[in-house]
Amino acid sequence: MQAIPSANMSNDSNALVLVTEERGAKLSFALYDFSMDVSSAMGDIDRLAKGVNLLALGLRQAGDNLKKYGILPSEEAWNTVRHVSLLCQEAFDEVELMVPLQRLQNARNTDGPVSDTSLTTRLRNELDWNVLAQSKAFFLLEHIESLRLTLSVISQTLYTANAIALSRREQNQAHESLVHTQRLQMETLIIEQQLSLLRTCRSFDRFRHKVDNAPLAVTHNASPQSMELVRRGNGPDPSALEVYQEPSLLQIHQPQDDIDDLARVRSISRSFVDGLLDRWTSLPEIIDGYREIDQFGDPREGEVKQIDAAPRRDLANMGRLVRRNSNYRPAAAESEIDSEDETAPRRPKLHLSTAEPVLQEVDDSLPSVSAGIPAPREQLLSPQYAQSWSAGAGNYFPSSHRHSRPRRASQHLSPLSSPRASFSSINSPRASFSSVNSPRPSFSNTSGSIDGSVSGSPTSGISGNLPTRSATTFRSDMPAFPPPPAQAVQPMPKLRERPPIPWRIRVNQEYWDYRDELQVGSNTRMELKTALKDFKAVTEIMSDYVTRDAVKERGFDFTRIRIPVDVPRPDGKTRTEMLSCLCIDGALDFNDVKALVRRTEEMRAEDEREEQRRRERRRESDERRRERDQAAKSRRTSITSQSGGPVRPPPPERSLTTPVLKAASGAAAPAVHGYTSTYRYSPRTSPNNVATPHTEETRTTKKKK
């Protein structure tokens, strides 16, 4: 059995991965910068920079996958990533010793701006990129590539294990195709990794052979950098990678053809896939858990069968008795007896002053409330009522769950459901006569029982054992209240209950839909608590119920998405709208969801009050402005009245008036039309511009001449 990694182990591994990734990114950038200045070894250094960068990215991806899949990776997987991180740091140390990166940085910091030619000459002399350096660089490239492929195999192993777990939980064609694809990808990476491990060992052997047989010109006349390389010799040990190689390939280090290597690796690749799944994942334990569920069945299935096997007349009592148990939790889909409408009025409770059990056996001859028969197993686990929330999935919640149906009672009410049964005997300490406005029953003179007593109910034997008192004694002990008028007797107003809160818990592609704390649908037969052990869950709530500010205030991480939702129209059809949904990390319970909804309502109420105050301030400002305008207008009117006389309009402009022309002499000049008068002419028709017939004739004669 694989050991579950501890929290300290995962935290230490994550910290080591982050440190190694940061160092690799800085080293890769420095190598590219060095290659730009020194062109003698540009090709080898560029390849080293690329390999270091890809190794850092692969290490980060493997660390993220270990955190993502929770308990799916085994303890050995965490140890493997930690070991590979240490090997990466050894490779980075060797690269920094081969390439004088620190000297380049020191020269730039101390010497200031120097010429590119002098700096390049100095670095080229210190580098001395000879045959030994090239062989060592080739070995480091193969070593870094082997580490990167090992990390890729770890990530692909987690992908494949996740696909196998999903296919084991929900057996369908899509999951089987996914498993086949992931296994092929994993087998391909294993082939590349095993071939790379073989090449790494052979490149190291060639490098050691060149160091042992180095020519005298290299060992005696070389620079101190080359001598240090010869003295240091080995560098990273490729034997540390043997734990990741298939055991039958450990002895194939002698030079062989690549085709022979591929044939050997291909023969063991498929079996090595299963071996890595057992080593690096907890998939065997997950498969055993699914096998136990298939063998012993769902624990909820026994409860449903027990209710189905009960006599029909005891179904109602059994449903009430089961709900009294504190450990009872509703199943995935309740029967009609347990799915009562929350908005329906509650039946009155019986207040009995006796120690005997409340639930009594109901006789077949008596009329009783009809109890619904529980739904079959196929309906309880049918996924057709729950639609997916993903894009194009349809309804947010199915229409069959939007309104629960109230329980339908028979035509004849049982005495237990009669409103008069709520009044107990007079001597009962829980007698409900405290309300003055409630209708009071009439009492007989010969019996202490109430008119319309419960003697006909199954509990009449209990009430008969109580001591009886006469009506006279009762009147002497109890104060006499006059009967209330008819108009005073009013039914109690129904409490307005809030609508249920729809929310969902999603684990990968599986989801469980809830209304308040009742589960109403799911697309899987697995229980939620079983799925939470293996994968990370997400709680989804529509933004109509919870706002982002409320979620941020509680400290939850979330993502806001938009999903298509079918909204009913007045004509009975539906239209699709894109509504906002909040995906909160983690599986919240109903108490957390209810707290978020309440906080959202409080925030919205505060915003509404603030908006009301803002509107009130705006209204007061408008009123003050109108008062100032009215006061200014009144002051102008009073000033005008004090100046004296009525207010005269301003004189018209002179351009809009016509001048009155008068004759120069005392007698009026004869007009053209034969009468004398004073006329008001326009500028065009003034007498100066009017030509007489004689004048016109004279002008014509002059023109002819």
The better pLDDT of the pair 133, 682 is held by 133
The better pLDDT of the pair 181, 229 is held by 181
Beta strands at 574-585 and 558-568: parallel, antiparallel or unpaired: antiparallel
Find the range with the poorest average confidence among 410-414, 481-485, 678-682. 410-414
Q: Over pLDDT 90: what percentage of the chain?
A: 21
206 band by pLDDT with thresholds 50, 70 and 90: confident
Select the highest-mean-pLDDT range: 444-453, 487-496, 631-640. Answer: 631-640
The better pLDDT of the pair 220, 573 is held by 573
Q: Read off the pLDDT of each residue in 484-507 and give the average, rounded to a whole number.
A: 68
What's residue 453's pLDDT? 39
Q: State the Cα angle at 448 between 444 and 450, rounded to 5°.
A: 65
Whether 124 contacts 164, CB under 8 Å: no
What's residue 384's pLDDT? 34
Token duo for residue 316: 């109602």
DSSP run (H or E) holding 562: strand 558-568
The better pLDDT of the pair 298, 358 is held by 298
Q: State the Cα angle at 106 between 101 and 112, rounded to 5°.
A: 130
Q: Over pLDDT 70: what percentage of the chain?
A: 51
What's residue 127's pLDDT? 62
Give which of 154, 165, 163, 159 is closest to 288, Cα–Cα.
165
Residue 503 backbone phi and psi in degrees, to 5: -155, 170
- Write out pLDDT tens, residues 103-115: 666 666 665 544 5
Select the highest-mean-pLDDT range: 281-285, 437-441, 526-530. Answer: 281-285
DSSP secondary structure, 357-423, as one string? -S--PPPTTS--PPPPPPPPHHHHT-GGG----STT---SS-GGGTSPPPPPPPSSPPGGGSGGGG-
For the chain, give the mean pLDDT: 68
Find the range with the poorest average confidence among 133-142, 410-419, 527-536. 410-419
Q: Read off the pLDDT of each residue in 514-533 and give the average, rounded to a whole number.
A: 82
What's residue 683's pLDDT? 54
Residue 704 pLDDT > 60:
no
Q: Read off the pLDDT of each residue in 487-506 and give the average, rounded to a whole number.
A: 70
What's residue 650's pLDDT? 63
Residue 66 pLDDT > 80:
yes
3-state secondary structure of 461: helix
Residue 695 backbone phi and psi in degrees, to 5: -65, -40
What's residue 620's pLDDT? 92
What's residue 367's pLDDT? 42
Entry pTM: 0.45
Residue 554 pLDDT > 60:
yes
Separation CA 347–CA 409 (nearest Å): 12
Tell me how crowded residue 201 is: count the other CB atoms within 10 A of its CB. 22
Separation CA 313–CA 322 (nearest Å): 16
What's residue 285's pLDDT? 85
- Write out pLDDT tens, residues 577-630: 888 999 998 888 899 999 999 999 999 999 999 999 999 999 999 999 999 888
What's residue 583's pLDDT? 92
The better pLDDT of the pair 695, 225 is held by 225
Residue 640 pLDDT > 60:
yes
Helix, strand, coil proportions of the chain in percent (round to 5)? 55, 5, 40
The better pLDDT of the pair 469, 648 is held by 648
What's residue 248's pLDDT? 82
- Write out pLDDT tens, residues 13-35: 888 999 999 999 999 998 888 88
Token duo for residue 360: 């009594």
Token duo for residue 595: 């707290």
Give which of 338, 333, 311, 309 is closest to 322, Cα–Cα.
338
- Write out pLDDT tens, residues 143-185: 999 999 999 999 999 999 999 988 887 777 777 888 999 999 9
What's residue 159's pLDDT? 93
Residue 317 pLDDT > 50:
no
The better pLDDT of the pair 679, 646 is held by 646
Residue 246 pLDDT > 70:
yes
